[in-house]
Amino acid sequence: MSCKSFLTLITVLLCANAVFGVNIISRAQWGGRSATSKSTLATGLSYAVIHHTAGVYCSTQAACSLQMRNMQNYHMDSLGWADIGYNFLIGGDGQVYEGRGWNTLGAHATNWNSKSIGISFMGNYNTNVPTAAQIAAAKALLADAVSRGQIKSGYILYGHRQVGSTECPGDNLYAEIKKWANWRA
């Protein structure tokens, strides 16, 4: 690729991101059910919390959509929650999946749900390793959250284990997020 066409590509990507934000697989696309109730999540939040599902890893949109439906059924039918717990999820296919979404209170970290957005990587990251595509997707989603005002630009990023008694988000994912600019000890 020539230098000029590379620069054109970068410009297109930057502009597309500014206009449309990160591409998110919607609830309709993965076959989600309607929530039984919804509460508003405030904007200007100070925190984002990273999780793993500790469940099955998936690497295609079809497989990740199936995991989304299974998880939503588990959270709603077995745990009795209003909806899938997380605000967003990251598939092993490198795509973002809509959970409760923007401006909706999640159920992902006791005492932290009203203060943070919850983003969960599908799989068990004590054994799975986050891919470059997954990392890029999560970072783009967090940048989108800032640009929308859901979280502040100086937000603090935590792994679930920092705010609760859990091994979540798994050792491999926790080691990764410790390298991100907004992570704090």
Binding site for Zn ion (CB under 5 A): 51, 160, 168
Residue 148 · residue 154 · CB < 8 Å: no
Backbone dihedral angles phi then psi of residue 81, each to the nearest 5 degrees: -80, 165
- Alpha helical stretches, state H, 21-127: 27-30, 61-73
CA–CA dist 15, 66 (Å, integer): 32
Q: How far is the CB of 51 from Zn ion (least distance, A)?
A: 3
Q: How far is the CB of 160 from Zn ion (least distance, A)?
A: 3
Backbone dihedral angles phi then psi of residue 148, each to the nearest 5 degrees: -85, -10
Q: How far is the CB of 20 from Zn ion (least distance, A)?
A: 29
46 CB neighbour count, 10 Å cutoff = 11
Comparing CB distances to Zn ion, the nearer of 75 and 160 is 160
Q: How far is the CB of 87 from Zn ion (least distance, A)?
A: 12
Comparing CB distances to Zn ion, the nearer of 32 and 106 is 106
Comparing CB distances to Zn ion, the nearer of 23 and 110 is 110
Comparing CB distances to Zn ion, the nearer of 142 and 168 is 168
